[in-house]
C-alpha cells in the first residue's frame, strides 16, 4: 500500500496539535483498514483527492486521477449503476455499499460507499471508500440498475452496456439467445408459475460466472455479453435446464447466435449504430429478424445490409413517408390539456425494412439518418401548427441530433424564424422530448443544446424516465423542464407498495431537480389516482385521449 501523502507532517507545536495529528492519522488508518482506494469528489463526481493502491490497480499514481470523473475508475458495465447512485445521493446524503467493477486489467469486483460531507464555508464533497470483494463475482449493473427477475437488466440498459464495451474496444461477444415456443409457455402458466420460471431463467443467464452483462430484449429473447472464447454452450445448457424445470416448457428449444463486439475497420459511431439496430431487430423479430438485418456477418455485415436501403430511407424522409398523430398530455388536477405529443407512424415504403415505429427509428439511426428523421418530424409538426391556435406540441428528438453542434445551430435558426413569423407560430408552442433510443456520447454538447433551447423559451422533456438507468445520469447532466415517467412504472406502482415507494422517490428526485413529472400510459382511473397521489403533475394515456389530429386540423 502506498502512503497517503509523500509530504511529512510538520512537528506539532503543542500537546493539542499533537493530539489532533494523532487523531487524523488514526482516522486514516481506520479508513485504509477497510478500503483499497480513498477518493474525494465534488457532487458532480470530479476527483479532487485520491489515495491508496492506485498504482497497483491501474498502473498510475493516485495524483494522475485528480480532475478525472469518478466513473473513469470503473468498468463501463458499472457506469449506469454509478450514475443512479450519484443522482440519488443528493436526496439520501449517502451511497450504501454497492457492488461495482473496477476498470483495471483484472476487472476487480469492489464495494463502494460514499457520504456527503458538508463543512461550513466549503462546497459539499463526497467522501468515497472502495474496498475489495474477494468472494463475490462481478455482476454488471448490480445495485442501482433496474433489474428483472434473476438479475437480468432491461433491454435499454443492456444495449447501452454493449455499446460502451464496443466503444471501449472490449474483447467480448454478444450472444443472442431465443427461447423458441415461449409464447405458448407463457399462456399455459399462471402468474406465479411464470414468475418462478422467469426467475430461474434469469439466474441461469445472469448468474453464470463468465457473463458480464445479461438483459431481456423481449419476452423469451435475451442478450448476453461474455468474453471471447467463453463457453457459450454451457450457458445454453443452463438455460435449457431451467426451462425443463417446468412441464409447460418441455417442448421449447433454445437458439443462439453470436455477434462479435469487434468494429475492425468500421468507424466507432457507425459500429455503435449497427449494434443498436441489430439488437433492436432481434428484440422485435428474434433470430430471423437479426439474420435478415445482416447480423450473421457481424457489424460489417449489418452495415452492408442496411446501406442497401439507405437511398430508399433518405427518399422516404424527404417525401415524408410517415404521418404524425397527436396525443394529449393533461394536467392531473383538472384534466385540462397542457400540450400534445407528436407520435410517428411510418407509411410502408419499398426497400425500407420496417414493421413499426421503433424499427423505423432504429433503422434511420443505423444508416446515419437520425438527424434527417428528426428534422422531417419537426417540420411536419410545424406544418400542423399552421392550422391550429393556442396548441403546443412536443416533438421527439434523438440524443444523436442533440449532441451535434451543427444540428443545434440549424435548429436554433429555425426557431428564430418561427418567432419572426408572429405569435401564431411562436417557438414557445414547441416542446422538445429527448429520447433514449441511442446513447449520448457527448453529454457536454447535448447539455449545451438543451440549455440554448430553454434560453429561447422552448421547454425540454426527458423521455422514458426510469426505462434505462442512464436517465438518472441525464437528469444530473441536463437542465430539463419535464421528465416523462416510463409506463411500466405507472403499472407497477398500482400493484405493490415497493414499486410505489420507488416511483415516489423518482418523482421526488425529479422535483428537486426542478422538473415536473409526466406519467405516460395511464389507462385507468385507478392508475390516475395513484399517480396524482404520488405527486405527478401531468398525465398521458388512453384514459385522457387516444392519438389523433390536433384541434382544428383537417
Q: Are residues 413 and 382 in the same domain?
A: yes
Q: Pull the grid cell for residue 361.
A: 427509428
> Mean pLDDT across the stretch 24-37?
57
Output the pTM of the full model: 0.69
Tell which wins on pLDDT, 322 or 170: 322
Give the model's pLDDT for residue 4: 43
For cell 417525401, name the residue.
Answer: 319
pLDDT at 493 over 80: yes
Q: Are residues 296 and 351 in the same domain?
A: no
> Mean pLDDT across the stretch 309-331?
91
- CB neighbour class for 358 (10 Å; exposed up to 12, middle 13-18, buried from 19): middle
Cβ count within 10 A of residue 472: 25
> Mean pLDDT across the stretch 192-196?
86
Mean confidence (pLDDT) of the chain: 82
Question: To 10 degrees, the CA torsion angle through 98, 88, 216, 306?
Answer: -120
pLDDT at 140 over 50: no
Q: Sign of the CA dihedral 118, 119, 124, 129?
A: negative
Between vectors from CA 382 to CA 379 and to CA 386, what angle results, nearest 5°? 140
Domain of 410? 308-540
In a domain, 346, yes or no: yes
CB-based contacts of 383: which residues, under 8 Å, 6+ apart? none
pLDDT at 164 over 70: yes
Domain end, chosen from 97, 132, 167, is at 132
pLDDT at 409 over 90: yes
pLDDT-based confidence at 136, cuts 50/70/90?
Answer: very low
Q: Picking from 21-25, 251-255, 352-356, 490-494, which range would have the lowest pLDDT averaged per residue?
A: 21-25
Q: Are residues 248 and 329 in the same domain?
A: no
Which DSSP helix (H) or strand (E) runs through 295?
none
CATH number of the domain that residue 433 is part of: 3.20.20.450
Give the model's pLDDT for residue 471: 73
Q: Pull the grid cell for residue 378.
A: 419537426
Alpha-carbon gap, residue 479 to 32, rounded angstroms:
38
Give the model's pLDDT for residue 7: 40
Q: Are residues 361 and 428 in the same domain?
A: yes
Q: Are residues 389 and 533 in the same domain?
A: yes
Give the model's pLDDT for residue 117: 85
pLDDT tens-digit profile of 453-488? Answer: 999 889 999 988 766 556 777 887 888 999 999 888
CATH number of the domain that residue 128 is part of: 3.30.450.20
pLDDT-based confidence at 322, cuts 50/70/90?
Answer: very high
> Mean pLDDT across the stretch 234-250?
91
Q: Total domain count for the chain?
A: 3
Task: Identify whether the C-beta of residue 173 lies closer than 8 Å to the C-beta of residue 182.
Answer: no
Q: With CA atoms as reference, report the closest residue to 312 among 348, 260, 359.
A: 348
Task: Identify whether the C-beta of residue 247 lies closer than 8 Å to the C-beta of residue 258.
Answer: no
Task: Identify whether the C-beta of residue 262 lies closer than 8 Å to the C-beta of residue 299.
Answer: yes
pLDDT tens-digit profile of 252-268? Answer: 999 999 887 766 655 56
Q: With CA atoms as reference, report the closest residue to 45 among 139, 118, 108, 114.
A: 114
Give the model's pLDDT for residue 451: 93
In a domain, 187, yes or no: yes
Q: Picking from 119-128, 161-170, 373-382, which range would have the lowest pLDDT averaged per residue?
A: 161-170
For cell 390516475, name the residue.
Answer: 528
Q: Are residues 438 and 511 in the same domain?
A: yes
Give the model's pLDDT for residue 144: 35
Q: Are residues 381 and 516 in the same domain?
A: yes
Give the model's pLDDT for residue 536: 95
Domain end, chosen from 99, 132, 165, is at 132
In a domain, 363, yes or no: yes
- Using CA atoms, how far residue 534 sits from 85, 406, 465, 472, 517, in Å, is 22, 40, 16, 19, 10
Q: Are residues 327 and 281 in the same domain?
A: no
Q: With CA atoms as reference, report the closest residue to 434 among 468, 409, 389.
A: 468
Q: What's CA 316's distance to the chain center, in Å?
A: 29
In a domain, 319, yes or no: yes
Amino acid at each position: 500500500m502506498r502512503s497517503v501523502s509523500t509530504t511529512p507532517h510538520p512537528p506539532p507545536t503543542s500537546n493539542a496539535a499533537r493530539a489532533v495529528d494523532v487523531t487524523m492519522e488514526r482516522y486514516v488508518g481506520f479508513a485504509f483498514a477497510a478500503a483499497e482506494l480513498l477518493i474525494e469528489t465534488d457532487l458532480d463526481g470530479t476527483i479532487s483527492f485520491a489515495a491508496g493502491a492506485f498504482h497497483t490497480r491501474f498502473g498510475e499514481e493516485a495524483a494522475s486521477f485528480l480532475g478525472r470523473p469518478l466513473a473513469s475508475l470503473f468498468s463501463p458495465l458499472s457506469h449506469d449503476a454509478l450514475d443512479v447512485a450519484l443522482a440519488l445521493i443528493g436526496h439520501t446524503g449517502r451511497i450504501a455499499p454497492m457492488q461495482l467493477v473496477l476498470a483495471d486489467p483484472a476487472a476487480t469486483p469492489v464495494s463502494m460507499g460514499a457520504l456527503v460531507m458538508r463543512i461550513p464555508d466549503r462546497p459539499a464533497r463526497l467522501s468515497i471508500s472502495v474496498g475489495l470483494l474477494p468472494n463475490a463475482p462481478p455482476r454488471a449493473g448490480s445495485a442501482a440498475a433496474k433489474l428483472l427477475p434473476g438479475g437480468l437488466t432491461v433491454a435499454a440498459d443492456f444495449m447501452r452496456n454493449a455499446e460502451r464495451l464496443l466503444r471501449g474496444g472490449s474483447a467480448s461477444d454478444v450472444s443472442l439467445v431465443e427461447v423458441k415456443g415461449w409464447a405458448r409457455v407463457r399462456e399455459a402458466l399462471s402468474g406465479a408459475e411464470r414468475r418462478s420460471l422467469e426467475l430461474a431463467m434469469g439466474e441461469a443467464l445472469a448468474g453464470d460466472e463468465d457473463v458480464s452483462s445479461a438483459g431481456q430484449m423481449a419476452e423469451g429473447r435475451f442478450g448476453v455479453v461474455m468474453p471471447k472464447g467463453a463457453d457459450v454452450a454451457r450457458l445454453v445448457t443452463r438455460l435449457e435446464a431451467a426451462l425443463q424445470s417446468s412441464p409447460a416448457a418441455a417442448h421449447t428449444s433454445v437458439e443462439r447466435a453470436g455477434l462479435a463486439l469487434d468494429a475492425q475497420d468500421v468507424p466507432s459511431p457507425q459500429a455503435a449504430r449497427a449494434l443498436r439496430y441489430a439488437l433492436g431487430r432481434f428484440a422485435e423479430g428474434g433470430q430471423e429478424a437479426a439474420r435478415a438485418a445482416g447480423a450473421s456477418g457481424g457489424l460489417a455485415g449489418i452495415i452492408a445490409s442496411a446501406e442497401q436501403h439507405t437511398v430508399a430511407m433518405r427518399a422516404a424522409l424527404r417525401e415524408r413517408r410517415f404521418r404524425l398523430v397527436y396525443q394529449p398530455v393533461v394536467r392531473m388536477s383538472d384534466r385540462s390539456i397542457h400540450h400534445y405529443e407528436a407520435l410517428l407512424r411510418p407509411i410502408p415504403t419499398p426497400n425500407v425494412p420496417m414493421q413499426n415505429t421503433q424499427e423505423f427509428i432504429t433503422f434511420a439511426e443505423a444508416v446515419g439518418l437520425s438527424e434527417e428523421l428528426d428534422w422531417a418530424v419537426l417540420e411536419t409538426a410545424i406544418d400542423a401548427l399552421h392550422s391550429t391556435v393556442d396548441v403546443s406540441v412536443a416533438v421527439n428528438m434523438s440524443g444523436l441530433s442533440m449532441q451535434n453542434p451543427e444540428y443545434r445551430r440549424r435548429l436554433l435558426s429555425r426557431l428564430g424564424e418561427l418567432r419572426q413569423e408572429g405569435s401564431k407560430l411562436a417557438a414557445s408552442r414547441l416542446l422538445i422530448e429527448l429520447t433514449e433510443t441511442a446513447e449520448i456520447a457527448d453529454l457536454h454538447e447535448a447539455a449545451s443544446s438543451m440549455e440554448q433551447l430553454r434560453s429561447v423559451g422552448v421547454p425540454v422533456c426527458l423521455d422514458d424516465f426510469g426505462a434505462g438507468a442512464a436517465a438518472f445520469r441525464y437528469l444530473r447532466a441536463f437542465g430539463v423542464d419535464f421528465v416523462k415517467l416510463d409506463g411500466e412504472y405507472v403499472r407497477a406502482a398500482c400493484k405493490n407498495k415497493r414499486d410505489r415507494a420507488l416511483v415516489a422517490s423518482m418523482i421526488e428526485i425529479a422535483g428537486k431537480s426542478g422538473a415536473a413529472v409526466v406519467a405516460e400510459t395511464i389507462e385507468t382511473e385507478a392508475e390516475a389516482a395513484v399517480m396524482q397521489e404520488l405527486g405527478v403533475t401531468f398525465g398521458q394515456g388512453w384514459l385522457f385521449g387516444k392519438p389523433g389530429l390536433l384541434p382544428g386540423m383537417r
